[in-house]
């Protein structure tokens, strides 16, 4: 097993733990949870940027702000849904983000989407239909929030792709963290102080988010995207296991088939894109 694969497996585990902690904080306002998630990363990367003279402001302000705001809204909606429905279901539906990213890239970046990708998208959406149709725990509000979250994730993907050769990657991340902190503070009147064991999740959600960010970055620095992409979906496997062990969440056959179709559709999308590159 290569170092890059080990890094991404550790990163996805960290993100799965972070999402489990977000669900554990279901008694908190979602924007307060967003604040906990952001502050744990920001307090480390901001001093690093200052010490290494990495641009805080950047040069492409509007797309940087758009990336930050879309990311905050997407994360907030996801946390609301995580607090309402099973962890694995929430993560699997949000995985539709790359589909919307491909559609946005088709229109705004003029990137091609081949027929095999469209087929993989249809497979993934059929999984959502099965999941919603046969799991009564998934209400329409949660489904709607997750779909909006996935759409915004798609927008974030396109903006990051646009900015990737124009801004330092830490500048892009910092805009997301700063947007999270500022917008979260607008809802401070709905916050409350953590009690007893809640401090563990409050501190842990920021630390695991930071660890996941670091190891995900290191993974893509040491290994090709085509090799790593399938392993990104290990986060869903971790989430299903944690949901069962921590929250007592289990799945019947057809909803589980829906999750498999979503994951299979997204994996086939990765395969379809790489096949076109090699032709």
Report the range of poorest mean pLDDT among 39-48, 186-195, 221-230: 221-230
Distance of CA 158 to the CA centre of its chain: 14
d(CA 90, CA 81): 6
Which ranges of the chain does DSSP label H, i.e. alpha helix?
Answer: 3-24, 30-51, 61-82, 87-94, 97-108, 115-134, 140-163, 169-185, 198-222, 225-228, 234-247, 253-278
Yes or no: say if 40 and 21 are a contact pair by the CB < 8 Å rule: no
Q: Where are the domains of the chain?
A: 3-278
Task: List, for residues 199-222, the tens digit of each pLDDT value.
Answer: 999 999 989 988 988 888 788 778
Burial grade of 181 (CB within 10 A; 0-12, 13-18, 19 or more) = middle
Task: List, for residues 231-259, the tens digit of each pLDDT value.
Answer: 888 888 999 999 999 999 999 999 999 99
Residue 84: strand, helix, or coil: coil
Yes or no: say if 138 and 132 are a contact pair by the CB < 8 Å rule: yes
d(CA 56, CA 60): 11
Output b/e per residue, 6-28; b: 16+ Cβ within 10 A. bbbbbbbbbbbbbbbbbbbbeeb
Yes or no: say if 269 and 128 are a contact pair by the CB < 8 Å rule: no
pLDDT of residue 200: 92
pLDDT of residue 278: 54
Predicted structure pTM score: 0.88
DSSP 233: G
**Of the candidates 206, 259, 261, 213, the residue with the CA atom closest to the CA atom of residue 236:** 259
| Residue 33 to residues 85, 132, 265, Cα–Cα distance (Å) | 17, 26, 30
Per-residue pLDDT band for 76 (boundaries 50, 70, 90) equals: very high
- For the residues 99-127, what does the mean pLDDT come to? 86
**Of the candidates 130, 136, 119, the residue with the CA atom closest to the CA atom of residue 92:** 130
Task: List, for residues 158-184, the tens digit of each pLDDT value.
Answer: 998 889 889 998 999 999 999 999 999
pLDDT of residue 225: 65
Burial grade of 77 (CB within 10 A; 0-12, 13-18, 19 or more) = buried
- For the residues 139-154, what does the mean pLDDT come to? 94
């Amino acid at each position: 097993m290569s170092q890059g694969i080990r890094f991404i497996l550790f990163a996805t585990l960290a993100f799965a733990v972070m999402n489990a902690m977000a669900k554990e904080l279901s008694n908190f306002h979602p924007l307060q949870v967003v604040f906990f998630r952001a502050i744990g990363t920001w307090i480390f990367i901001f001093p690093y940027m200052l010490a290494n003279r990495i641009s805080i402001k950047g040069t492409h302000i509007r797309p940087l702000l758009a990336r930050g705001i879309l990311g905050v809204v997407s994360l907030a909606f996801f946390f609301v849904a995580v607090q309402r429905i099973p962890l694995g279901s929430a993560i699997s539906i949000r995985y539709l983000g790359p589909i919307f990213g491909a559609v946005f890239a088709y229109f705004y970046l003029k990137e091609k989407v081949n027929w095999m990708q469209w087929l993989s998208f249809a497979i993934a959406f059929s999984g959502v239909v099965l999941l919603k149709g046969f799991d009564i725990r998934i209400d329409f509000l949660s489904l709607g929030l997750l779909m909006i979250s996935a759409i915004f994730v798609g927008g974030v993907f396109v903006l990051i792709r646009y900015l990737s050769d124009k801004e330092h990657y830490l500048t892009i991340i910092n805009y997301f963290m700063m947007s999270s902190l500022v917008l979260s503070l607008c809802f401070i009147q709905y916050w409350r102080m953590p009690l007893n064991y809640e401090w563990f999740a409050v501190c842990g959600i920021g630390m695991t988010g930071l660890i996941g960010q670091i190891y995900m970055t290191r993974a893509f620095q040491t290994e090709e995207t085509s090799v790593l992409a399938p392993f990104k979906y290990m986060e869903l496997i971790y989430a299903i296991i944690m949901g069962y062990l921590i929250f007592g969440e289990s799945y019947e056959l057809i909803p589980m088939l829906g999750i498999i179709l979503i994951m299979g559709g997204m994996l086939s999308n990765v395969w379809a894109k790489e096949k076109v590159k090699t032709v």
